[in-house]
Amino acid sequence: MRVVDEEEELYPSTPGKVKVERSGAAAMSGQLHRCFASTGTMFLWALLLVAMTATYLSFRSLADTSSSRYFTASWGGLHWERQIRASASPRRPPWSAEGAGLSVLVTGAAGFVGAHCSLALRKRGDGVVGIDNFNSYYDPSLKKARRALLGSHGVFVVDGDINDGRLLAKLFDVVPFTHVLHLAAQAGVRYAMENPSSYVHSNIAGLVSLLEACKDADPQPAIVWASSSSVYGLNDLVPFSEAHRTDLPASLYAATKKAGEEITHTYNHIYGLSVTGLRFFTVYGPWGRPDMAYFFFTRNILQGKPITVYRGRDHVDLARDFTYIDDVVRGSLAALDTAGRSTGTGGKKRGPAPYRIFNLGNTSPVTVPTLVAILERCLMVKAKKHVVEMPGNGDVPFTHANISLAREELGYKPTTSLEMGLKKFVRWYLSYYGYNRGTHAFRNHL
C-alpha cells in the first residue's frame, strides 16, 4: 500500500508520459500470461519483460532528477513561444535617438525591483520577458498583482524557476536576448536564520543555473545582476566604497551575495560573459516588499500594533542608506545600457569581457527611529515602539554608500530623500490595500 502511495506522489494523476508508460507496461504483462505457449517463447518474453522494466526504471529516475517538472512543465508550445517573442521584441526602431532597443530577460520580474525595472524598460521601448517562481516568501498575491500590471503593458512573465535549466535553454532558443537583468533571489537578511537552504537554492544554485544558460546561449547576453550592500558586512570604513573589503559577511544572505560576486567573476573569466553587479542599498518604495521594515512598520502602525525598533550597542541607533526605487531603476537601466558585450560563443571565451561592480545607494543614511518618525508624520498615527537591543541576527549597524564610481560610469544620481520616497510609498500603500479609517484625510495630507 505504501509503495502505491509513493508512486502516486511521483506520478500525479494528471496525464503524463510516465503514467502512460506505466499502464502500458501493466497491460502488456497481462497479455504475456495469456500468450505463453511454450517454455522457449516464455523465456524470450521474460527477457523482453526485463528489458521493458529496465527502460521504465531509467525513465522514472530521469523524472526524479528533473524534480518531476520535466513532466509537468506549464510552458512550451507554439502559442507560448509567440507570446515570448512578442514580449521580447523591442518597440523602438534601430534609427531612433536612443538606438536599437534591447531585448532583456528579467529574472524575478514579479518581485519589487524586477517589476519596476521591467516596466521602465518596456516604457522606453525595449523588449522584456520576465521569469518568476512566485514563491511564498511573502504574499504571492502581491507578486501576481505586479505581474498583472506588467501584462497590461505587454510584458509577459513566465511562471518558472531559474533552477530549471531546460526552461532557460528554451527561452534562449526562442529569443536571442541581448541582456539578462538577474534580480531573482532569496532576499531578507534575518530570514536566513530560519530558512538557510532557500538562500543556497536561489542565490547560489539558481545563479549558477542561469549563468550556465547564459554562457551556452548564442549570442551570449550581457548580465546585470543584484548584489547587495550587505556584502560590506563588518567593514567599518565609511562611506562603503567598491574598493573596500567584503570578506566579512554578517549573515548567510550576505555570504550568498558575496559568493555570487565570485561566481559571476568566474563565468566572466572562463566564458567571456559581460557581468555587472549592482550593490543595492535597502531599496524601498511603492509595490515594495512586505518583509522589509518600512513596509511592515506602516502596516502595524495603521493597525495600531506595536513595532520593534532595534538599537545598536551603547544605545546607538541603527542607520540605513535607504534608496528609492526610481533611483535604483535609473541606475539599473544605465548599467544595462553601458554593459559591454559578452565575448564567448559555443561556450568558449573569445576575448576579455567587462566585469564591473557598482554601489547603488542614496549617500545619506537615516536612522531607524527617524524612519519611524517620518512614517508617523505621513500616516498621522503615533507608533507603538518597542525598542530592543539588536539581536545577533545578521543585521549590521549601518550602511552608507559611496557612489562616485556609479556616478562617473553610469551617470547615476539619486534624487529622492527618504521623506519624499516614503510619502510616495504610503500613498501607494493606501491605494493598494485601502484603509477605511481616515483614508480621505490621508489622501489630502499626502
Ligand X SMILES: O=C(O)[C@H]1O[C@H](OP(=O)(O)OP(=O)(O)OC[C@H]2O[C@@H](n3ccc(=O)[nH]c3=O)[C@H](O)[C@@H]2O)[C@H](O)[C@@H](O)[C@H]1O
The residues that touch ligand X, with contacts defined as CB under 6 A, are: 187-189, 228-230, 280-282, 292-294, 308-310, 318, 320, 368, 395
CB of 25 to ligand X, least distance (A): 49
CB of 275 to ligand X, least distance (A): 18
Q: Which listed residue (137, 253, 271, 429) is catalytic?
A: 253
Question: Packing angle between helix 39-65 and helix 17-35, nearest 10 degrees?
Answer: 170
Q: Which of 201, 311, 320, 192 is nearest to 249 (CA)?
A: 192
CB of 294 to ligand X, least distance (A): 6
By C-beta, is 281 or 324 nearer to ligand X?
Answer: 281
CA distance 213 to 4: 37
CB of 342 to ligand X, least distance (A): 26
Can 310 be counted among the known catalytic residues? no
By C-beta, is 16 or 369 nearer to ligand X?
Answer: 369
- Other beta carbons within 10 angstroms of residue 102's beta carbon come to 25
Q: Is residue 2 exposed (0-12), middle (13-18) or buried (19+ Cβ within 10 Å)?
A: exposed
CB of 228 to ligand X, least distance (A): 3
Q: Which of 73, 224, 83 is nearest to 151 (CA)?
A: 83
CA distance 285 to 312: 25
CB of 252 to ligand X, least distance (A): 12
**Cα separations in angstroms, 379 against 301, 423, 446:** 8, 9, 9
Q: What is the DSSP letter of 190?
A: G
By C-beta, is 163 or 228 nearer to ligand X?
Answer: 228
By C-beta, is 168 or 318 nearer to ligand X?
Answer: 318
By C-beta, is 212 or 395 nearer to ligand X?
Answer: 395
Q: Which of 435, 432, 437 is nearest to 146 (CA)?
A: 432
By C-beta, is 45 or 310 nearer to ligand X?
Answer: 310
- 110 membership: H or E segment, kind and range: none
Point out the residue whose Cβ comes nearest to ligand X.
228
Strands 283-284 and 275-280: unpaired
CB of 316 to ligand X, least distance (A): 11
By C-beta, is 129 or 185 nearer to ligand X?
Answer: 185
End-to-end Cα distance, the chain: 63
Q: Where are the beta strands (DSSP E) in 312-382?
A: 319-320, 323-324, 355-360, 366-367
CB of 166 to ligand X, least distance (A): 29
By C-beta, is 79 or 313 nearer to ligand X?
Answer: 313
Residue-wise DSSP of 32-85: HHHH--SHHHHHHHHHHHHHHHHHHHHHHHHHHHTTTHHHH----SHHHHHHHH
Please, which residues bridge with residue 107 across strands? Answer: 131, 182
Q: Is residue 153 exposed (0-12), middle (13-18) or buried (19+ Cβ within 10 Å)?
A: exposed
Q: Which three cell numbers stand for residue 90?
A: 523591442
Q: Where are the beta strands (DSSP E) in 76-147?
A: 103-107, 127-132
Catalytic residues: 253
